[in-house]
């Protein structure tokens, strides 16, 4: 059976200077099935963010290919990648990255609006997801009126509101205290189970890593472990 | 999505309310002042043209062919042409003609006990002139009439100043009559005119047409027939028709008689283009500045939007909406201010009496009544709209260089 997400021979390097090139990823191969709850771990600079960016179509690899649910992402135009991100992938960022001029509700509805979902349906869905994540009271607030933990919960709600097939979360707990971090991962796991969405997140916090059901470990741009927990 | 983009654009503008308002203010104030200038300058030009048309040329004037080069009494338009036709009859039957007057004129000299000047003596029918060009409206002092014995005269105010005469003063008019004899008559000043048509104000004496016929010894014919149209659009058509009917006459439009005034109008049109260019420049630079800063400040926000799947074209719409909101707000505010001001100056006039001497030198009225033309607003709207659209080019280039993957990982 074909995997939901296939990463084949991915390599990526960055040119820091004329003569200095850093290999961020080297020949990464990875298969992830639908509905998995996967953590990518490894020390800083191991290539976690680069790998997530490539899987999410935010960056292109130097070589190799990414196939998401049968769709080959490598080689797609910028416009097509935008549409893949909009329609199939939800993102949670380390720095929350809520749109500052929109309320929490509008942030949650943002991707649905991009998809052209009508206002009433957007509101029903945002209410449903907010209920599930316990953030109903935050919906009318602007991001600068929310704490870090609250912002990240809104960001998680935004990532799943448009019912993507895949949620990518890059160090979602890095800016949170340990209690909030565990609560957030629990919340993501709940969504993974209830919404059936595949979740891949990165972290180097052992407590958070322990919550995943599968662990992929990177070191110096190489995949060094890929185990079920 | 459009409504959402509109909301995003509005929210971005509101977040930088002071800066956005400054641009709107800059556009509206410049538009206001430029609209005002346009309206007032246009009013001035049209008043000058109107003065010339009303006091002299009409919309169309007829002269005997050759009269303009040799304005002698030999070159008058005959009352009846050899084929029996009369210009008066043709004009009287033409529905396009609103009114016409006949004038008999001859170069001469006006003298008082102390002063004398070369002038043009006009024989006119005041009642007809009143209906034709409302000549009585130019009366500065005295009476609009030649008196019971028709021995009165009306003179231009500049001439009156130079001759040091007032209403009631006696003048001696001398000229060469049709028999080449030098003849003179005495008249009294009945009224003084101020038309702001310099040739009239400085060098004209109006006397009764019948008196002029006797004085000049011309009983068959006139020097000029001035025609006013019912509608200005028919001028060219009538000119052509009259020229074909009367090949022995010169049929001239007002702008052919006063090319300098027509030139003023052309210059005004050029000025309007410059005004549009200034509005375009001011709006464009203002919006460009704000949008550049706004986009640079929002690189992160735009990066997030792109990362979440927003297409570049949707960002472009959002940026364009922001620019258009600022431009349009400036246009509405500036147009409203300009319209109200022009409305005021159209009704009450702009009194520039303190510069009246300078204005009068150029044949302008001291009180200018502004014009309001839809074209002012249309060209300003076009200029602002173009500026708003073009000025987002550079900000959008910045957007196109935003790399979401890099931006979203900046903390």
DSSP characters over B352-393: -GGGHHHHHHTT--SEEPPP--HHHHHHHHHHHHHHHHHTTH
Give this complex's ipTM. Answer: 0.91
Exposure on the CB side of residue A21, measured as CA atoms within 13 A: 8
Question: Would you say residue A83 has pLDDT above 70?
Answer: yes
Within 8 A of B405 by CB-CB distance, chain A residues are 53, 58-59
B268 and B233 housed in the same domain: no
User: By CA distance, what is B404's nearest residue in A?
Assistant: A58
Judge contact between A59 and A68, C-beta under 8 A: no
In this predicted structure, what is the pLDDT of residue A165?
92
Residues B192, B137: one domain? Answer: yes
Q: How far apart are CA B353 and CA A173, in angstroms?
A: 77
* Shared-domain flag, residues B238 and B365: no
Do residue B215 and residue B284 come from a single domain?
no
pLDDT score at A35: 93
Give the residue carrying structure tokens 């000229």. B175
pLDDT at A13 (0 to 100): 93
Task: Out of B215, B247, B279, pick the residue that ends a domain.
Answer: B247
pLDDT average, residue stretch A75-97: 92
- Residue A178 tokens read as 């340990």
Chain A environment of B411 (Cβ under 8 Å): 94-95, 175
Chain A nearest-CA residue for B9: A101
Backbone angles phi, psi at A14, to 5 degrees: -120, 140
Query: What are the φ and ψ backbone dihedral angles of A130, each rounded to 5 degrees?
Result: -65, -40
Query: Which tokens in the block code for residue B212?
Result: 């002029």
Q: Are residues B91 and B219 in the same domain?
A: yes
CB-count burial class (<10 Å; 0-12, 13-18, 19+) for B124: buried
pLDDT, residue B148, reads: 86
Cα angle vertex B155, ends B152, B161, to 5°? Answer: 125
Are B318 and B402 in the same domain?
yes
Asked whether residue B320 is assigned to any structural domain, the reply reads: yes
Q: How big is the A-B interface in CB pairs under 8 Å?
A: 72
The closest alpha carbon to A176, from A150, A136, A205, A148, belongs to A148
Give yes or no: residues B81 and B112 share one domain.
Answer: yes
Q: Do A114 and B308 touch (CB under 8 A)?
A: yes
Burial zone of B401 (CB within 10 Å; 0-12 exposed, 13-18 middle, 19+ buried): exposed
Tell which of B205, B221, B247 closes a domain. Answer: B247
Q: What domains, with CATH codes, occur in chain A?
A: 5-97+165-228 (3.40.50.300)
Helix (H) or strand (E) holding B52: helix B17-52
Please check whether residue B327 lies inside any domain of the structure.
yes
Rounded Cα–Cα distance for residues B166 and B221 (Å): 32
At B239 the pLDDT is: 94
Residue B391: left if φ>0, alpha if ψ -120 to 50, beta else—which one? alpha
Do residues B22 and B85 share a domain?
A: no
Q: Is A143 in contact with A116 (CB distance < 8 Å)?
A: no
**In terms of Cα–Cα distance, which of B161, B200, B153, B192 is closest to B48?**
B200
B230 and B140 belong to one structural domain: yes
| Size of chain B in residues | 411
Domain boundary among the residues B221, B247, B273 is at B247
Kindly state whether A96 is in contact with chain B, defined as any CB-CB distance less than 8 angstroms: no
Of the candidates B122, B124, B150, B155, the residue with the CA atom closest to the CA atom of residue B138: B155
d(CA B115, CA B395): 73
Identity of the residue in B305, B405, B411 whose CB atom sits nearest the CB atom of A99: B305
Give the closest of A84, A89, A97 to B304, CB-based.
A97
Q: Which of A85, A94, A106 sits opposite B309 (nearest CB)?
A: A85
- The answer to whether B398 contacts chain A (CB < 8 Å) is no
Q: Is residue B87 part of a domain?
A: yes
- Nearest Cβ partner of B309 from A59, A86, A95? A86
Domain count, chain B: 2
Locate the chain A residue with the closest alpha carbon to B410.
Answer: A95
CA distance B383 to B332: 13
Would B241 be classed as within a structural domain? yes
Contact A82 B405 (CB under 8 A): no
Whether residue B401 lies within 8 A of chain A, CB to CB, comes out as no
Query: DSSP readout, A71-140?
Result: EE-TT--HHHHHHHHHHHEEEE-TT----TTS-HHHHHHHHHHHHT--HHHHHHHHHHHHHHHT-GGGTT
Predicted TM-score of the model (pTM): 0.75
Same domain assignment for residues B76 and B178: yes
Q: Which residue of A76, A99, A148, A173 is the best one to mutate when testing the B interface, meaning the one whose CB has the most B CBs within 10 A?
A: A99
**Mean pLDDT, chain B cut into blocks of 10 residues (411 residues total):** 79 84 90 90 87 89 91 90 89 93 95 94 94 90 91 94 95 94 96 86 94 93 94 93 92 91 84 84 86 85 92 91 92 96 93 71 75 92 90 88 80 59
Q: Which of residues 271-310 of B touch A (CB under 8 A)?
A: 300-301, 304-310
Rounded distance between C-alpha atoms, residue A165 and residue A198, angstroms: 6
In a domain? residue B42 = yes
Output the pLDDT for position B12: 82
pLDDT digits (tens, 9 = 90+) for A3-57: 899 999 999 998 887 788 889 999 999 999 999 999 999 998 899 999 999 999 9
Same-domain status, B105 and B227: yes
Same domain, B81 and B211: yes
Decide if B58 is inside a domain.
Answer: no
Please report the pLDDT score of residue B362 as a whole number.
65
- Judge whether residue A1 has pLDDT over 70: no
pLDDT at B1 (0 to 100): 66
In-domain check, residue B254: no
Write down the pLDDT at residue B93.
Answer: 92
Q: What is the pLDDT of residue B7?
A: 82
- Asked if the structure places residue B59 within a domain, the reply is no
Domain span at residue B305? 2-52+261-407
């Amino acid at each position: 059976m074909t995997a939901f997400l296939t990463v084949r021979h991915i390599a990526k390097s960055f040119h820091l200077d004329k003569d200095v090139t850093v290999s961020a990823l080297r020949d990464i191969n990875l298969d992830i099935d639908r509905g998995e709850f996967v953590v990518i771990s490894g020390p800083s600079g191991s290539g976690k963010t680069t790998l997530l960016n490539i899987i999410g179509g935010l960056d292109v690899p130097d070589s190799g290919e990414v196939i998401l649910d049968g769709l080959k992402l490598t080689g797609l135009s910028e416009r097509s990648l935008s549409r893949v991100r909009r329609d199939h992938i939800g993102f949670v960022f380390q720095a929350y990255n809520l749109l500052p001029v929109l309320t929490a509700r509008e942030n949650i509805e943002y991707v649905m609006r991009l998809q052209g979902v009508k206002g009433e349906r957007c509101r029903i869905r945002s209410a449903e997801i907010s209920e599930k994540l316990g953030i109903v009271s935050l919906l009318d607030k602007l991001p600068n009126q929310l704490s870090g933990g609250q912002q990240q919960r809104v960001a998680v709600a935004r990532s799943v509101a448009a019912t993507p097939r895949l949620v990518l979360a890059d160090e979602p707990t890095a800016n949170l205290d340990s209690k909030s971090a565990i609560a957030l991962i629990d919340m993501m796991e709940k969504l993974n189970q209830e919404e059936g969405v595949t979740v891949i997140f990165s972290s180097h916090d052992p407590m958070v890593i322990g919550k995943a059901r599968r662990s992929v470990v990177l070191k110096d741009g190489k995949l060094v472990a890929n185990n079920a927990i | 999505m459009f409504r959402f983009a509109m909301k995003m654009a509005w929210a971005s503008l509101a977040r930088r309310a002071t800066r956005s308002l400054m641009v709107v203010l800059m556009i509206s104030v410049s538009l206001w002042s430029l609209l005002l200038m346009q309206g007032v300058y246009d009013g001035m030009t049209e008043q000058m043209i109107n003065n010339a048309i009303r006091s002299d040329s009409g919309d169309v004037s007829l002269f005997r062919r050759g009269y303009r080069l040799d304005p002698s009494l030999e070159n008058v338009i005959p009352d009846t042409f050899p084929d029996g036709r009369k210009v008066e009859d043709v004009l009287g039957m033409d529905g396009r003609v609103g009114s016409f007057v006949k004038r008999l004129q001859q170069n001469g000299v006006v003298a008082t006990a102390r002063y004398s000047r070369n002038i043009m003596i006009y024989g006119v029918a005041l009642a007809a002139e009143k209906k034709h060009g409302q000549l009585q409206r130019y009366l500065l002092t005295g009476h609009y009439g030649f008196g019971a014995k028709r021995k009165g005269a009306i003179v231009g105010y500049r001439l009156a100043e130079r001759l040091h005469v007032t209403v009631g003063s006696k003048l001696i008019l001398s000229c060469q009559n049709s028999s080449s004899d030098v003849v003179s008559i005495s008249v009294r000043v009945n009224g003084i005119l101020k038309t702001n048509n310099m040739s009239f104000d400085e060098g004209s004496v109006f006397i009764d047409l019948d008196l002029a016929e006797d004085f000049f010894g011309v009983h068959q014919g006139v020097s000029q027939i001035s025609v006013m149209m019912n509608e200005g659009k028919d001028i060219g058509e009538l000119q052509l028709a009259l020229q074909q009917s009367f090949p022995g006459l010169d049929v001239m439009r007002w702008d052919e008689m006063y090319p300098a005034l027509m030139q003023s109008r052309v210059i005004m049109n050029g000025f309007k283009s410059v005004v549009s260019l200034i509005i375009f420049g001011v709006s464009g630079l203002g919006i460009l500045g704000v949008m550049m800063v706004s986009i640079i400040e929002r690189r992160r926000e735009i990066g997030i939007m792109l990362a979440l799947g927003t297409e570049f074209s949707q960002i472009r719409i959002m940026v364009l909406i922001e620019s258009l909101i600022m431009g349009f707000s400036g246009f509405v505010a500036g147009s409203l201010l300009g319209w109200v001001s022009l409305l005021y100056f159209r009704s009450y006039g702009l009194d520039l009496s303190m510069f009246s001497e300078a204005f009068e030198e150029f044949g302008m009225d001291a009180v200018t009544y502004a014009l309001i033309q839809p074209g002012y607003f249309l060209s300003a709207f076009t200029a602002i709209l173009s500026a708003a659209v073009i000025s987002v080019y550079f900000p959008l280039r910045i957007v196109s260089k935003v790399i979401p993957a890099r931006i979203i990982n900046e903390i």
